Structure 1
């Protein structure tokens, strides 16, 4: 896709840092992807993991987190911004019997790239990118008509 024909799409919403807000982030992302005619996998799963992390580890009472989706050219970018810039995420394999702690391991496995951008204080943004091109190796992204 060349620069002249590239369409930039974006969606952004503030959500409460609660389990309900995290579920709503996933549901809203799924609906937006459907409206854009893009496949849900793996973006839906990445949004779910990052939103749960924001609601769990980035929670500050009275401060919402922001979900932003961008599609620029052949890339979907997911950003989740919270107000706990002092708590930076890191991947770490949990104990085999642990009931949580696998979120960023999943994001690392599903995303083509991911990282953390600081600020402005006290915020941080955890982001992940998915390449839409068929050569990216992401199942389902070669056929944009597949909405499963």
Structure 2
């Protein structure tokens, strides 16, 4: 049963190791949780949220990594939207405020396109410092 406008949103939270394996697991767990909440894996909302989760978790595992510290994924679902938040322990490494900067040269860059994907799939996204030690990058996909 999906939440209605008057019900409490569904919430899922998991802490994962800051590794490529942890990032992959984040994507798989979010996909499974959305299906458990009644959103099919093939729905546009699920596909968008899973793609965003994959990118944010990969960024947390590579750019937000502090040895010995995990990252956290929080997923919530309301009647209006799905929201994914990925928190890591590198608040000194914030994403750029806007993904409107030019893409890296395809001839030389092998990375640097992830937030363009987040911007394409998400209805809105942003980043905030939660504490001196934690930042959260979040994205919402309207249902």
TM over 0.5: yes
TM-superposed CA distance for 1:117, in Å, is 1.3
- Aligned partners of 2:33 and 2:74: how far apart in 1? 11
Matches within 5 A, 1:54-93: 54-90=60-96, 91=99, 92=101, 93=103
Structure 1: stretches of 5+ with no match in the other structure: 133-148
Q: CA contact under 8 A between 2:5 and 2:78: conserved in structure 1?
A: no
What's the secondary structure of 1:42's corresponding residue? Answer: helix
Structure 2: stretches of 5+ with no match in the other structure: none
Stretches (4+) displaced over 6 A: none
TM-score (norm 2): 0.86
Alignment of 1:9 onto 2:19? no
Alpha carbons of 1:42 and 1:119: their partners in 2 closer, same or farther (altered >3 Å)? same
Q: Deviations over 1:89-126 (max 9, x none)?
A: 12342211321111101001110000001121111000
TM-score (norm 1): 0.83
What's the secondary structure of 1:88's corresponding residue? Answer: coil
TM-superposed CA distance for 1:72, in Å, is 2.0
Query: How many residues are aligned here?
Result: 131
TM-superposed CA distance for 1:2, in Å, is 6.7
- Aligned partners of 1:84 and 1:54: how far apart in 2? 8
